Amino acid sequence: MLQPGTCTVLASQAGDADYLAATPVTQSFTVGFSSPCIVNQHGTLTVAAGQAICVSGGTVNGGVIVKAGGALWLSNATVHGAITSTGANAVTLCGAKLSGGPTITGTTGPGPT
């Protein structure tokens, strides 16, 4: 899973005698979230499958649940409550302060940093 921000990809193909040689192509794109970053959340925050949620510089009062197929990015945020995740695509905790600690299992992408 790519982290949020601008990413550049170079695509090319190795030559094959049966096919024309492809010209390498460089393309930039932006990876984002399902909605604007949350600053403050009162009550439990639930991240559903297919969602990518960011909490930046704020507070979550009530804990966080990340469902299978969801993704969470906490950056310099405070969580009063537990963070639980089973089967998330990614859970990133960068500079986060947790009062309940994380329980993360089966995550397929980046884990706590």
pLDDT in tens, 9-56: 666 666 566 655 566 667 665 556 667 788 888 999 999 998 888 898
Q: What is residue 50's predicted lDDT score, i.e. its pLDDT?
A: 87
Q: What is residue 63's predicted lDDT score, i.e. its pLDDT?
A: 92
pLDDT at position 59 over 90: yes
From the number of C-beta atoms within 10 Å of its C-beta (0-12, 13-18, 19+), residue 44 rates as middle
Lookup result for tokens 């990518």: 52
pLDDT in tens, 72-91: 988 899 999 999 999 998 88
Structure tokens at 26: 């460089």
pLDDT at position 94 over 80: yes
Q: Which amino acid, residue 54?
A: C
Structure tokens at 14: 């190795």
Domain positions in the chain? 33-105
Q: What is residue 1's predicted lDDT score, i.e. its pLDDT?
A: 44
